[in-house]
Chain A
């Protein structure tokens, strides 16, 4: 327990010192929420819609923190610690190197949730955002999307033979997902044909789920994204475990 709390404290400090995760995972989505709120805030999502543009985009905004931590921070730190043999050093201590991985997950999870809560606060305080759907259902959906994205990130870390490949794979997955899943550029403004292509990306489905739940759409209508998210979680976790190496 003492090992866990000391590692949690130290690794959190290192993560904050690193700056990139706080910037991409927290400052970026919060800043983006402010801009979106100022431009389109309370306008209806489309003519005759009974919810606002911001209400429609809220789910997408909260997914940015999940992506920055799950597709960059976690896999790159794991690949880095493996490359630097930090994990190997833990194998010759009484503590399992898995504890260090767990600590990374916990920190990333906390940063992601902080990002989501800040996005919510900004939207609610400055732009009058109200969630139409149940906040509890939203939290569950958020957890499911987070698990799926983290599993994808861990799989990338596991299959990368070195830090360079990990960097490349993470960028290849992260940036298209960020731009083409509706996390930043709203799905709705894309041409139909583009939307079809976007539907392939796991995060697009995750955002559909978050959006649907936050807008109070009945669960049956978001069944497909739920199944897909659970599927990604299971398959990618299995692949990560299958290919994981400590060094």
Chain B
């Protein structure tokens, strides 16, 4: 199978603190891949190094067969990105931010259709700053899909969303996956990971401590559900027991 993403020996530290250490992973085309780990485990730094926004100390990254730094313009025609906690220009409306994002790509998706699919069509004239947290989160996922990407990075895609909105987004992403979209996501919600992800990688202090499919990882752990297996892998299970 073709690879959408190849990361080799990626490392990045800030001063004495190691954020990511020797990360090695591959994502197949058409796959939904989850990068898990608790806050500060190095998820966001990994994504930023993969996207070329941060310069890794060492290692190499190939996204859709391209180098994200030297082939940036070409690559980001095909890659959508949703950063964690996105903020926008002051006093910009939903329609305006969609229109601007649309204008950056050669062959973008119809953003009005996306607004409909995300239930945001009535908010077009509203200021982004006046949206609720959940609506803004949906908008940031929507904007990442405007390029009609082959690969999309979603950093904490459903943080702050209610159950209904989360399900709507899952359903929509699954439908895009069926059309061949590759998704690289991070999430703190194990139900979401279990439903969406084909394979996951668990980071602990910048090191990958597990990388496999969800059922395989549960099986290799002493537990029978992902939540507890995840805590066991990421080394939080003891702390969780202690605090009980």
Contact = CB atoms under 8 A, between A and B. Distances in A.
Interface of A: 2-3, 5-7, 10-11, 13-14, 17-18, 80-81, 84-86, 88-95, 247
Contacts, number: 65
B103 A3 contact: yes
Contacts of B90: 14, 18, 80
A6 B87 contact: no
A238 B10 CA distance: 34
A93 B77 CA distance: 7
Given A7-B103, A94-B105, 12 more contacts: A3-B103, A6-B102, A10-B99, A10-B100, A80-B90, A84-B88, A85-B86, A85-B87, A88-B83, A89-B83, A93-B104, A94-B77
A84 B89 contact: yes
Contacts of A6: 99-100, 102-103
A3 B103 CA distance: 5
Contacts of B96: 10, 13
Interface of B: 51-53, 72-74, 76-77, 79, 81, 83, 86-92, 96, 99-106, 147
Contacts of A84: 87-89
A93 B101 CA distance: 9
Nearest to A81: B89
A94 B103 contact: no
Contacts of B106: 94
A92 B81 contact: yes
Nearest to B91: A17
A80 to B, nearest CB: 7
Contacts of B92: 10, 14
B139 to A, nearest CB: 13
14 contacts: A5-B103, A6-B102, A6-B103, A7-B100, A10-B96, A17-B91, A18-B91, A80-B90, A86-B88, A91-B53, A93-B76, A94-B74, A95-B73, A95-B104
A162 to B, nearest CB: 15
Contact of A88 (B53, B99, B147): B53
B79 A86 contact: no
Contacts of A93: 76, 101, 104-105, 147
Contacts of A88: 53, 83
Contacts of B104: 3, 90, 93-95
Given A84-B88, A86-B89, A92 B53 contact: yes
A247 B77 CA distance: 22
A18 B91 CA distance: 8
B93 to A, nearest CB: 9
Contacts of A11: 89
A197 B224 CA distance: 78
